[in-house]
Amino acid sequence: MISVRSYESRRMLMDLNRLLLWMTGVSCSLNLLYTMRGLGRPQRGWQGILFGLLVTGGIGLLTIPDLSGYIVGAAWLLLVIFPGLIQRLSSRMIARRRYRLAMWCARVSSWLHPLDGWRDHPEVIRALQQLHAGQTGEAKTILEKLGRLDTSVGRMAMMVECQQTGGWEQMLSWLRRAYPPNAILRDENLLMMYLQSLGELGRRQEMVDTYQLGAEAHHAAGRLSECLVQLRVAALCGLIPTTDLLADVVSNSLPADSQQFWRLTARQVAGQDVHAGFLKLQTTASPYLQPMIASRLSAPLPTVTPDELDASATRTLEELSQTVAHEARYAVMHAGSRQRPYATWGIAILLIGWFIREIPGGSSDPLNLVTLGALVIPTSETPGEWWRMITAGLLHFGPLHLTMNLVGLLYLGPRLEQAWGMWRMLTCIAVSSVTAMGLAPLIVTLTSDQPISILVGASGGVMGLVGALIGHLSVGWFRGRNRRISRQLSTLLLLVGLQTFFDLTTPNVSFACHLLGMLTGLSYALVTRGLEILIMRMRTYQSG
């Protein structure tokens, strides 16, 4: 029989102070570098907050190391994480036309971060709400006032006003007068406004040439959140399949009627009769969209002709279509899928339910965890109990351990489920978890001071998701060099590096299980994808 004291010597106790200090330092450092590399207007407010948190954490680590993590972690959650989450929720609510909740979220985020133009976000939402209610006069007054601001909110207001009035020529003149060409190319919002103005005016050659210049400028800096830009270019050039793919990608940030508007626009430019489609959309669309639909009905965009674009522009559009199709298959780290991640939610519910079972006996009591199915190393202490390789992946040592794994699962799971489907994703996480637990006894080192160890947690399965996503993105990168896939792959590799450093410097965290889970997921992805490619080539060869 194993004594409780032996287990307590190997507890998987998370030092919350250390964890918060670690997470804050990594998050603030990466975000600070990101804002400094940005091509648009400098976000001085965010840069000041991030730098201040890093300095505070460093001073606290030298003066009060036992409390520094709690102090800087609380400030990080309040000033960085919470405002960002609330702002993202506000954007989701705007996409769903729930303006009252969106305005409440925008007000909260502006209180927490009144810098970088965020304090004006509620006014933009109020204008959108009034447009949705048909109160165009009041909305126009707000938009004109905000349009005088040289901020992202001011540019957004100008864009909305232009969409309502159809003043694309005036928009184009204002952009050229107010900003030098290089500034337009390097600012995503300005570029989007400029390109749509050219497309709406039928100047497609100039639009495609400008898009190519903007893509090259952002490619040099290694970043461009360009889905909304690409959507406008594709639709205004009549690229129907590409527009449909992009509309799916931005489904979480663009209302359904706006998605349909751009789908119909692409078909109109391609020469299809979409008069009935716009009439049908007009009956259900928001009043905000009504002027743009009326414009499409009264003054349809001219059909694109084969000789309208030169060879360079034609090649640019072909590359755009190929890039979007490739990214739709492989660049899965974005969150734009309409697919509900039922498998991920099911696993999360299972882990929470299993944790509830632990509570009566104590979720951090080693003897209780062993009774419920924790993996015991050496396995000779529990002979024949192979099922512990499965149950150990469902147990967690305290609520913090569970929360960390749930965060990883809910972030990574939907992306792999979107790429692979429910059953293949479930198989991957199950195989990774069981393999990690099954092989861990072979490489975990025991000492005379700690002759017995117990392992619990879904970390092996979660790291299997990381490995599988790395494998999926790697296949996409090798099959077609793509900067968005490359950025996503680099982000995951950086995550693995940070996780490895954390594991090796934090007591009672099983680096072995994490490594085994990740390698299993990576192998699973490469083997299954390799088999798929082989089968497709054999079928092509047979049909040929």
Q: What is the mean pLDDT of each run of 10 residues along the chain (544 residues)?
A: 33 62 85 69 79 90 86 90 85 77 86 79 80 74 72 71 77 82 79 90 93 74 61 94 89 83 95 93 84 90 89 92 88 71 94 93 85 86 88 88 91 91 94 92 72 84 95 89 84 86 74 90 90 75 64
Asked if 344 and 321 sit in the same domain, the reply is no
Find the CATH number of the domain harbouring 539.
1.20.1540.10
376: part of which helix (H) or strand (E)?
strand 375-377
Q: What is the distance between the alpha carbons of residues 212 and 237, in angstroms, rounded to a whole number?
A: 14
pTM assigned to the model = 0.81
Q: Which spans in 222-274 are helix H?
A: 227-236, 240-249, 256-269
Asked if 507 and 378 sit in the same domain, the reply is yes
User: Which of 264, 299, 330 delimits the end of a domain?
Assistant: 330
Helix axes 483-505, 311-330, angle to 10 degrees: 30
User: Which of 281, 304, 330 delimits the end of a domain?
Assistant: 330
pLDDT score for 265: 95
Asked if 456 and 520 sit in the same domain, the reply is yes
- State yes or no: cis peptide before 366, omega within 30 of 0: no
Q: Judge whether 294 lies within some domain.
A: yes
- Cβ density class 239-278: b for 16+ within 10 Å, e for less: beebbbbbbebbbebbbbbbbbbbbbbbbbbbeeebeebb
pLDDT score for 110: 84
Q: Judge whether 132 lies within some domain.
A: no
Q: Judge whether 303 lies within some domain.
A: yes
Q: Judge whether 237 lies within some domain.
A: yes
Q: What is the distance between the alpha carbons of residues 441 and 389, in angstroms, rounded to a whole number?
A: 10
Asked if 318 and 381 sit in the same domain, the reply is no
Number of domains in the chain: 3
- For 376, phi then psi, to 5°, come to -105, 130
Asked if 368 and 492 sit in the same domain, the reply is yes
Q: What is the distance between the alpha carbons of residues 71 and 60, in angstroms, rounded to a whole number?
A: 8
Asked if 410 and 319 sit in the same domain, the reply is no
pLDDT score for 4: 32
Q: Judge whether 109 lies within some domain.
A: yes
Asked if 78 and 203 sit in the same domain, the reply is no
- Listing DSSP states for 412-465 in one string gives HHHHHHHHH-HHHHHHHHHHHHHHHHHHHHHHPPP-SS---EEE--SHHHHHHH
Asked if 521 and 413 sit in the same domain, the reply is yes
377: part of which helix (H) or strand (E)?
strand 375-377
Asked if 197 and 99 sit in the same domain, the reply is no
User: Which of 91, 116, 141 delimits the end of a domain?
Assistant: 116
pLDDT score for 11: 37
Q: Judge whether 129 lies within some domain.
A: no
pLDDT score for 9: 32
- For 450, phi then psi, to 5°, come to -130, 80
- Cβ-based neighbours of 418, under 8 Å, separated by 6 or more: 332, 337, 339, 341
Q: Containing domain of residue 410, as a range?
A: 340-543
Q: Judge whether 128 lies within some domain.
A: no
Asked if 190 and 298 sit in the same domain, the reply is yes
> Widest CA span of the chain, in angstroms?
84
Asked if 191 and 322 sit in the same domain, the reply is yes
Q: Judge whether 151 lies within some domain.
A: no
Nearest Cα residue to 54 out of 27, 89, 78: 27
Asked if 321 and 394 sit in the same domain, the reply is no
